[in-house]
Amino acid sequence: MEEMKRLPLLGEKLPEFTVKTTHGVKKLPEDYKGKWFVLFSHPADFTPVCTTEFVAFAKRYEQFKNLNTELIGLSIDQVFSHIKWVEWIENTLKVKIPFPIIADDRGEVAEALGMIHNGKGTNTVRAVFIVDPQGILRLMLYYPQEVGRNMDEILRIVKALQLADKEGVAIPANWPDNELVKDEVIIPPASDVATAAKRTKEYTCFDWWFCHKKVK
Q: Is 21 helix (H, G, I), strand (E, B) or coil?
A: strand
The single residue of 39, 50, 102, 185 carrying the catalytic annotation is 50
User: Taking a C-beta distance cutoff of 8 angstroms, is the pair 39, 131 a contact?
Assistant: yes
HSE-CB at 53 with a 13 A cutoff on CA atoms is 27
In the annotation, is 211 catalytic?
no
Closest C-alpha to 68, from 161, 201, 172, 167 = 161
User: Taking a C-beta distance cutoff of 8 angstroms, is the pair 52, 148 a contact?
Assistant: yes
User: Would you please indicate which residues are annotated as catalytic (active-site) residues?
Assistant: 50
